[in-house]
């Protein structure tokens, strides 16, 4: 668990953080979101002590970060930044093996680990291990950045707009890969973004910030359903009810009854899709329900406009 | 491509042989000078042999350049550390100011203090050779992306690991370019050491100027130029070997990788 406790940070006379308090529970993704300059990156750097607070405490597992030897602390926390931050004079393999090397792991161990991680992040180990960062695409570099952060198997990951420099299409792929990776690894993640759709997609919890203050700390459904003030309401936008539907899975709201499905209708939705997608598809057909299919294209049941409305109601009403 | 590169190699070998013969064979030198300066009676400077002057010249340059490179590099590293950063503006200002000094002035200042001969010349060359190395070390390190350094720190590198494994490898190319400039300048500047009795290739040049003997001036100048060109070529080879283009030419070590 990571706690921010009334943290204050100045840059000269500029008060970048104005008494920030929030909690990051173990094993889930906490997204820091807010407009540019609100103090997201600053908060992140206070965790691995690239910055020191002027007041208040940052604690990891109840221990103030100040009480750790700084290099030790950092080697135990994975750090991923927007431009990937790979060292250009080292191969992909050496970049991934960096923290293990600092921790004294031998060459064979590091190589095996790098190849395993490349596999894990979906890059062919044997063609990528010896490449240099300049030979990678933006998306590949970001993947390698994630692999490097994971190399020493740290329990905590700090990610500062990790997919910010990637084009929208690739970004979504990376987000999905990250989500399934996180499902396996269950790291304690602080994820900074200013993209609300990204936050809604990856977050277990969202901390909304403005001008160095925490405005709201909540589950994504809660933030979208009940933004706590005018700023939060404006930030989540007028389509927040739709965004909120993106948090719910069709499989949880479908009816198993296959008898009502019109078989001549070609429109259907996979069970793994979100209610937002289901709604979009229903709106494109004359009927108010469509079949739900599994990955093998077998019909599992149906999803109705009514069910989607019921799921979304909590969010749409405020 | 292949034909061209072998042509270059042949040219180099020929040039090398011609230069070597010019320096080491008196009769070969006399033949060439006779063709170039048919009116001159005294073609060969007899007081000191050319190989001997070349040796003096090289030891002046080698000693002063090694010392200057070490000093410039260390000072450059120091003023880019957190403990030395306060001195950065001062050192930058001083070195920009010092670069406007002509080397002769430094020599003139050095010899009343250190006397005549080898030592004051080495001192002057040293002082003058520091500047390019210092400037390039500072610029090379300062040009490393701050975000990259922060990323390296964020992975848990200690300050000395950041220096040795991130900043220096990335700045190496610029630093080596500074050393190259420093050495090349020193090769030329060392000729004026002869005015205060340091020996070197300046000896024959000055003798030629005094006696109005262009063959002497030519002998010294051509030999110094040859040394400068050879050194420059050596540095460019070194850079090609150590900074392979694959990583944007920024790798300062491990040059054994295949280049494709
Ligand atoms: N090194 C610095 N020196 C001075 N001011 C800084 C420095 N770093 C950040 N700031 C200021 O502190 C505030 C918070 O910066 P921070 O980088 O935490 O913002 P952010 O929320 O990450 O924004 P973005 O979404 O643009 O990355 C901003 O107003 C910024 O201008
Ligand atoms: Mg930021």
Length of chain B: 260
Token output for A54: 């002027």
Q: What is the 3-state secondary structure (H, E, C) of chain B?
A: CHHHHHHHHHHHHHHHHHHHHHHHCHHHHHHHHHHHCCCCCCCCCCCCCHHHHHHHHHHHHHHHHHHHHHHHHHHHHHHCCCCCHHHHHHHHHHHHHHCCCCHHHHHHHHHHHHCCCHHHHHHHHHHHHHHHHHHHHHHHHHCCCHHHHHHHHHCCCCHHHHHHHHHHHHHHHHHHHHHHHHHHHHHHHHHHHHHHCCCCCHHHHHHHHHCCCHHHHHHHHHHHHHHHHHHHHHHHHHHHHHCCHHHCCCCCCCCCCCCC
Q: Using one digit for the tens of pLDDT, what is the confidence trace for A38-65?
A: 999 999 999 999 999 999 999 999 999 9
Q: Is residue B211 part of a domain?
A: yes
Give pLDDT, residue B246: 52
Same domain? For A267 and A124 the reply is: no
Q: What average pLDDT score do residues B104-130 get?
A: 84
The answer, yes or no, to whether residue A108 has pLDDT greater than 90, is yes
Same domain? For A38 and A63 the reply is: yes
Q: Is residue A235 part of a domain?
A: yes
* Parent domain of B228: 49-242
The answer, yes or no, to whether residue A234 has pLDDT greater than 80, is yes
Q: What average pLDDT score do residues A1-21 get?
A: 96
Residue A261 forms contact with B (CB below 8 Å): no
Q: What average pLDDT score do residues A193-211 get?
A: 94
Most A CBs within 10 Å, among B156, B175, B252, to test the A interface: B156
Q: Is residue B131 part of a domain?
A: yes
Name the closest-CA residue to atom 16, ligand 1: A39
Same domain? For A35 and A129 the reply is: yes
Give pLDDT, residue B249: 46
Whether A194 lines ligand 1, by a CB cut-off of 6 Å, is yes
Angle, alpha carbons B239-B241-B242 (nearest 5°): 65
Same domain? For A188 and A277 the reply is: no
Q: Is residue A318 part of a domain?
A: no
CATH of the domain at B215: 1.10.3720.10
Domain end among A229, A244, A259: A244
- End-to-end Cα spacing for chain B: 16
Q: How far apart are CA B179 and CA B134, in angstroms?
A: 9
Q: Name the closest residue on chain A to residue B148, using Cα atoms.
A: A85
Name the closest-CA residue to atom 30, ligand 1: A37
The answer, yes or no, to whether residue A316 has pLDDT greater than 50, is no
The answer, yes or no, to whether residue A272 has pLDDT greater than 50, is yes
Name the closest-CA residue to atom 22, ligand 1: A41
Tell me how far the alpha carbon of residue A298 is from its chain's centroid.
31
Which range is most confident: A81-85, A311-315, B172-176?
B172-176
Q: Kindly indicate the confidence band of residue B254, based on its pLDDT and cuts at 50, 70 and 90.
A: very low
Same domain? For A147 and A44 the reply is: yes
Q: How far apart are CA B108 and CA B101, in angstroms?
A: 11
Whether A39 lines ligand 1, by a CB cut-off of 6 Å, is yes
Q: What average pLDDT score do residues B119-135 get?
A: 90
ipTM of the complex in this document: 0.81
Q: Is residue B59 part of a domain?
A: yes
Same domain? For A259 and A137 the reply is: no
Q: How far apart are CA A142 and CA A148, in angstroms?
A: 10
Residue B143 forms contact with A (CB below 8 Å): no
Q: Lay out the sheet containing A205-210: strands in order across.
A: A77-80, A156-160, A188-193, A29-33, A205-210, A213-218
Please state which of the ranges A92-106, B99-113, B119-133, B240-254 shows the lowest mean pLDDT. B240-254
Q: What average pLDDT score do residues B67-86 get?
A: 95
Q: How far apart are CA A280 and CA A242, in angstroms?
A: 10
CATH of the domain at A286: 3.90.1280.20
Structural domain count, chain A: 2
Whether A41 lines ligand 1, by a CB cut-off of 6 Å, is yes
Structural domain count, chain B: 1
Same domain? For A57 and A202 the reply is: yes
Q: Is residue A182 part of a domain?
A: yes
Residue A318 forms contact with B (CB below 8 Å): no
Tell me how far the alpha carbon of residue B18 is from its chain's centroid.
23
Q: From the CA of A209, give the closest atom in ligand 1.
A: 21
Give pLDDT, residue B117: 85
Q: Nearest ligand to the C-alpha of residue A40?
A: 1
* Parent domain of A259: 247-313
Average pLDDT of chain A? Answer: 91
Q: From the CA of A45, give the closest atom in ligand 1.
A: 18
Same domain? For A154 and A216 the reply is: yes
Using a CB-CB cut-off of 8 Å, the residues of chain A touching B169 are 89
Whether A16 lines ligand 1, by a CB cut-off of 6 Å, is yes
Name the pTM for this structure. Answer: 0.83
Q: Kindly indicate the confidence band of residue A123, based on its pLDDT and cuts at 50, 70 and 90.
A: very high
């Amino acid at each position: 668990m990571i706690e921010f406790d009334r943290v204050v940070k100045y840059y000269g006379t500029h008060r970048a953080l104005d008494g920030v308090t929030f909690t990051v529970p173990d094993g889930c993704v906490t997204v820091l979101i807010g407009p540019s300059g609100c103090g997201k990156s600053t908060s992140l750097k206070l965790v691995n002590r690239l910055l020191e607070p002027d007041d208040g405490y940052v604690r990891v597992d109840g221990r103030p970060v100040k009480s750790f030897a700084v290099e030790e602390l950092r080697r135990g926390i994975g750090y991923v930044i927007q431009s990937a931050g790979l060292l250009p004079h080292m191969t992909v393999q050496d970049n991934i093996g960096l923290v293990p090397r600092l921790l004294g792991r031998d060459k064979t161990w590091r190589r095996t680990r790098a190849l395993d991680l490349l596999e894990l992040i979906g890059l062919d180990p044997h063609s990528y291990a010896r490449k240099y960062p300049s030979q990678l695409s933006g998306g590949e570099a970001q993947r390698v950045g994630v692999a490097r952060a994971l190399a020493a198997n740290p329990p905590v990951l700090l990610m500062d707009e990790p997919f910010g420099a990637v084009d929208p299409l690739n970004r979504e792929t990376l987000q999905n890969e990250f989500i399934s990776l996180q499902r396996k690894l269950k790291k304690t993640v602080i994820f900074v973004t200013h993209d609300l759709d990204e936050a809604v997609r990856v977050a277990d919890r969202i901390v909304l910030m403005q001008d160095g203050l925490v405005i709201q700390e909540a589950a994504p459904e809660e933030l979208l359903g009940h933004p706590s003030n005018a700023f939060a309401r404006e930030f989540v936008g007028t389509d927040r009810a739709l965004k909120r539907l993106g948090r719910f899975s069709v499989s949880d709201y479908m009816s198993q009854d296959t008898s009502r499905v019109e078989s001549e209708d070609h429109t259907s939705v996979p069970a793994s899709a979100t209610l937002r997608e289901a709604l979009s598809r229903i709106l494109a057909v004359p009927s108010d329900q469509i079949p739900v299919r599994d990955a093998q294209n077998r019909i599992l049941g149906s999803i109705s406009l009514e069910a989607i409305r019921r799921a979304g109601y909590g969010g749409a009403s405020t | 491509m292949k034909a061209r590169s072998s042509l270059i190699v042949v040219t180099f070998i020929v040039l090398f042989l011609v230069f070597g013969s010019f320096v080491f064979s008196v009769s070969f030198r006399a033949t060439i000078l006779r063709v170039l300066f048919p009116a001159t009676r005294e073609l060969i400077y007899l007081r000191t042999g050319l190989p001997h002057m070349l040796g003096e010249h090289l030891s002046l340059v080698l000693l002063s350049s090694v010392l200057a490179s070490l000093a410039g590099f260390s000072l450059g590293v120091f003023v880019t550390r957190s403990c030395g950063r306060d001195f950065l503006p001062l050192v930058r200002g001083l070195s920009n100011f010092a670069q406007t000094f002509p080397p002769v002035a430094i020599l003139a200042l050095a010899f009343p203090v250190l006397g005549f001969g080898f030592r004051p010349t080495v001192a002057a060359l040293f002082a003058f050779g520091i500047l390019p190395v210092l400037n390039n070390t500072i610029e090379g390190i300062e040009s490393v992306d701050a975000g990259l350094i922060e990323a390296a720190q964020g992975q848990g590198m200690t300050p000395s690991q950041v220096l040795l494994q991130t900043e220096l490898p990335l700045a190496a190319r610029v630093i080596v370019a500074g050393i190259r400039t420093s050495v090349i300048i020193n090769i030329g500047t060392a000729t004026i050491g002869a005015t205060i009795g340091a020996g070197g290739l300046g000896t024959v040049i000055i003798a030629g100027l005094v006696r109005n003997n262009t063959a002497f001036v030519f002998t010294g100048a051509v030999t110094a130029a040859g040394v400068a060109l050879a050194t420059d070529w050596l540095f460019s080879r070194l850079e090609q070997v150590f900074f392979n283009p694959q990583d944007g030419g920024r790798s300062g070590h491990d040059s054994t990788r295949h280049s494709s």
